Amino acid sequence: MKIKLLLLVAIICSTIHSAEAQLPLPTRTIGGTQFYYHEVKKEETVYSIAKKLGISEASITKYNPGAAMDLKSGQYLFFPVADFANGNNKVAQQTANSGSTAATGMETTSTHTVEKGETLYGIAKTYDIAIDDIIKLNPEANGGIKEGQTLKIPQNKKVPEVSDDTKISRESEVANDTTVIYVTIRPGDTLFSTAKRYNTSIDKLMELNPGISPQNFKSGEVIRIRPNYYTTFKAEKETTEFHTYKIQRGDTYFSIARKFNVNVEDLKAANPDMKKPKRGKTLYVPIKRTATVLVDPASSNVLKEQLSDNDSPIIQEIYDSVHVFNNDSNINVALLLPFMLDRERQSKQAKLFTEFYKGFLLAVDTVRQMHGNKSINVFAYDTRDSKSCVDSILSLPALAKMDIIFTPDDSEQIELIAKYGTEKKIAVINSFSLKNDEYNDFTTLFQVNTPQIYLQAKMLDFFDSTFRDHEVIFINMPSEPEKEMVGELKAHLSAKDIKYSTIDIANTLNADSLSNRLVSGRRYVLIPTSSSRSILHRSINAIKSVKLNRYDVNLCMFGYPEWTTYIAEFGNDFNQVDTYMYSRFFAQHDNKSIHDFDNKFHRWYGEYMIYAAPKFGLLGYDTGCYFLKLFMRDKDYNKNFKFNGLQNSFDFDRVSNWSGFINKTVYFIHFTVFNNIETYTK
């Protein structure tokens, strides 16, 4: 008995092809599935049959793989009717016709709804276009933008690089049009319908938009799409394979059906011109089995129901293949920091980075005690504050196995590491740099320090809610540079038609001059225009005097992040004048938890932390606790959570669905007249 696999794998899906009509062929129902069939004539070829039927050669070999290698006269070719009904099947002829499907009538603009804290610069950076391009479509934006405003965004024709390292479990990839466009999700859209609309695949859509998940695909969100670019993925489906069997002496349909465990009627239907088996003839045997098949975004109706549901297991499997990067049960962390161990004496900056590392190791100890289900492996590398040294470290095979990499504070080195992290699917943590916006370009980069524009937006929100019924008086010393925040606040007040006044001081603020400005029964907030110690020294005594003697007015003061470093010197003064300030971090030194950490740090290392703002030991501890706990839960960056540490708190979010993460947490500190300190995080 000779058995060989031949002809047909009747996969209930379709590869992207150009639209074709129903086939001019007879049909047979085999195993509950209806097929067109064609008997190969003498001297027919795959090419001539394709031309005769009006389909592509790829269609023939797709459903009849044996035909590509061995096409014989009398052989039958089968085609599932469902895949050719109503133009459902789209064959590979589209390769010669690229862009004619979903790209036709494609949007030339998308829309962007301005969120709090966003600027034209930031929006232009997000969409990788020029500010002038936005203003051309939105002339009103030239005078500024505001929260809730809708902007038209021109489509950018730039094509981002695609590294082979970013392709997850590829079986077959087609790229006919690599233009990236921006699309607003419509009500009722699903991952499947959106992918099908633009002739792309679900996993490619998720790759380009790491902020999108099956549970977070909402109308109004803007996503990136690369039309006509898709990847097939694997799915389990029931298939019918046709085997050939050379009929032996004594064979009957019944005996052959029993031998192959198939239905007699299906066996007869597969051989319509053979009333009974004849010795030496070839019989087609339809055998059903469950197989792993390749599915694409234009899958047939059999899979459509499963793919249309964002919560379906198949969609979740696709999401996991894109977002769960390392299945290793261990957590591997690399700290690439300028320890400067090659120098005879460490600078203070190098000592601070060493202290950060020590704080991180204390976090490892804490997390291990709380979550003992995974091992934590820590690797420390001295970057020597050199880009070439960072490049050499990244070339080490061990780095590709990391789950987390902490960067130094140099912008060029951060960019180098962030690019590596995005290619290798590794979380990259920028804990130090304040003026860095690489998070717009690299999807796995976490910016720990809240960017300035978001810091200011949160500050303005807090100011509106806390001082809504206060009159604002700025205290200005011309010799001191005005804080950028002051200009933002003045513009904000003017936009709301809120009046403010200014007191200029040459040497020191005069208490009587200040008191004469105040009207009985009113509320006032005083704001020095500089964050320097000098302006505090020259004004604080007068403010305290007025606060003590003018019980008929409500007086308080509002200040800056830098003031958190003046607490040892001005703490009592801040309490007496009812002072508010804001900051990216804050450690209340009489807090028991911080006191306990100080003691533990001293026990471990025989020294206390260096006085700095922020304290690097606490920064290493807080960031370590957060990211290690995050990876203990799940190696999926989208499942981050809010975290309040000893000095730093984290609430990470993506700027866009294709960006990295920024921390949006801001501390607001209130030194009350009751001689205590209240803190809020927003």
- Per-residue pLDDT at 89: 47
- Per-residue pLDDT at 314: 81
CATH code for the domain in which residue 116 is found: 3.10.350.10
Which of the four pLDDT bands, split at 50, 70 and 90, describes residue 392? very high
Q: Read out DSSP for 147-202? A: TT-EEEEEPP-------GGG--S-S-EEES----EEEEPPTT--HHHHHHHTT--H
Cα–Cα distance for residue pair 196/300, rounded to 1 Å: 11
Cα–Cα distance for residue pair 508/454, rounded to 1 Å: 34
Which of the four pLDDT bands, split at 50, 70 and 90, describes residue 20? very low
- The owner of tokens 């509950």 is 32
- Per-residue pLDDT at 85: 64
Which domain covers residue 661, as residue numbers? 328-450+585-666
Which of the four pLDDT bands, split at 50, 70 and 90, describes residue 159? very low
CATH code for the domain in which residue 536 is found: 3.40.50.2300
- The reply to whether 77 and 50 lie within a common domain is yes
Q: Which residues contact 478 (CB under 8 A, 6 or more apart)?
A: 504, 506
- Per-residue pLDDT at 163: 36
How far is the CA of 428 from the CAs of 213, 334, 554, 648, 672, in angstroms?
Answer: 21, 10, 47, 18, 39
- The reply to whether 206 and 134 lie within a common domain is yes
Which of the four pLDDT bands, split at 50, 70 and 90, describes residue 123? confident
pLDDT at 25 > cutoff 70:
yes
- The reply to whether 117 and 210 lie within a common domain is yes
pLDDT in tens, 515-526: 999 999 999 999
- The reply to whether 577 and 461 lie within a common domain is yes
Q: At what angle do helices 348-370 and 592-605 cross, to 10 degrees?
A: 110
Q: What is the mean pLDDT of residues 239-259?
A: 86
- Per-residue pLDDT at 326: 59
- The reply to whether 473 and 567 lie within a common domain is yes
Q: Is residue 307 part of a domain?
A: no
pLDDT in tens, 488-536: 999 999 988 999 999 999 899 999 999 999 999 999 999 999 999 999 9
In the listed set 535, 563, 583, which residue is the last one of a domain according to the structure?
583
How far is the CA of 208 from the CAs of 199, 264, 365, 474, 662, in angstroms?
Answer: 14, 50, 37, 47, 18
Average pLDDT, the chain: 84
Cα–Cα distance for residue pair 619/610, rounded to 1 Å: 12
Choice between 371 and 252, residue whose per-residue pLDDT is larger: 252
pLDDT at 607 > cutoff 80:
yes
- The reply to whether 473 and 410 lie within a common domain is no
How far is the CA of 123 from the CAs of 93, 142, 145, 152, in angstroms?
Answer: 39, 14, 11, 11
- The reply to whether 537 and 642 lie within a common domain is no
- The reply to whether 121 and 87 lie within a common domain is no
| Number of domains the chain is built from | 4
pTM of the model: 0.74
Cα–Cα distance for residue pair 70/299, rounded to 1 Å: 28
- Per-residue pLDDT at 10: 29
Q: Highest mean pLDDT range out of 178-182, 611-615, 620-624, 641-645?
A: 620-624
Q: Is residue 320 part of a domain?
A: no
Query: Which of 168-172, 189-193, 274-278, 576-580 shows the lowest mean pLDDT across its residues?
Result: 168-172
Q: Tell me what percent of the residues of the chain surpass a pLDDT of 90.
A: 49
Rounded to 5 degrees, φ, ψ at 290 are -90, 125
